[in-house]
Amino acid sequence: MPSDEKILFIDYSRCIGCESCESACRFIHGQPRINMTRTSGGIMAPVYCRHCESAACIKACPRGALQKALDGSVLLHPVLCAGCETKSCILACPFGGIFCTGLDEAVAKCDLCQRRRAVGMAPACVEMCPCGAMHLVTREEALALSTEEYEAAHRKVMEHVRPVILPSTRRDKE
């Protein structure tokens, strides 16, 4: 894995929930590849692909539609995607970063604006973020950006994205 591999890092403690990232993505791609969600606590936060080093979505895709690019990003090849009824890739992503579209392309996910980066531009969401919460950084740089405030905010968002559902206790009639 190249040490200069870039990922998207969003500091949820700085995010103001303005939806600029989702709007910029929709403008560039037609279908947003980053989606805003509202947590049960009322926090608006972007949900996005983390371009995992060992991506569960790649392993879950039976058609090979998700692949690791040379730069380390996880890319979706829509022509290979069968839009599986099981949506295994969606279920496999621990960050909720793959979305059903309801359109011709069954699913969508962030590609870190591959075409923009190929001509030296940053991802649209990073450039449009008014509060500086979004960064295109190496994994090492992301660790350096992580603060206690970020960790606390990130936990709240992840509890919403992947809630822990405890089994209900069965109460028999007494």
CATH number at residue 84: 3.30.70.20
pLDDT score recorded for residue 5:
86
**pLDDT for the residue numbered 84:** 77
Taking residues 137-165, report their average pLDDT: 89
pLDDT at 149: 95
pLDDT computed for residue 43 by the predictor? 83
Tokens of 78: 């829509």
pLDDT over threshold 80, residue 173: no
Residue 171 lies in a domain: no
Q: Would residue 146 count as lying in a domain?
A: yes
Give the chain's length: 174
In a domain, 15, yes or no: yes
Residue 130 lies in a domain: yes
What letter does residue 120 receive in the DSSP assignment? T
Summarize pLDDT for 59-84 with one digit per residue, the tens. 999 999 999 998 889 999 988 888 87
d(CA 20, CA 79): 29
Output the pLDDT for position 1: 47
Give the structural domain span for 77: 6-161
Residue range 81-98, pLDDT digits in tens: 888 777 889 999 999 999
pTM of the model: 0.84
User: What's the confidence (pLDDT) of residue 171?
Assistant: 56
Residue at 1 is within a domain = no
The answer to whether residue 102 is domain-embedded is yes
Name the domain count of the chain. 1
Number of CB atoms found within 10 A of residue 131's CB = 12
Residue range 10-20: mean pLDDT, rounded: 95
Q: Which of 91, 88, 50, 94 is nearest to 72 (CA)?
A: 50
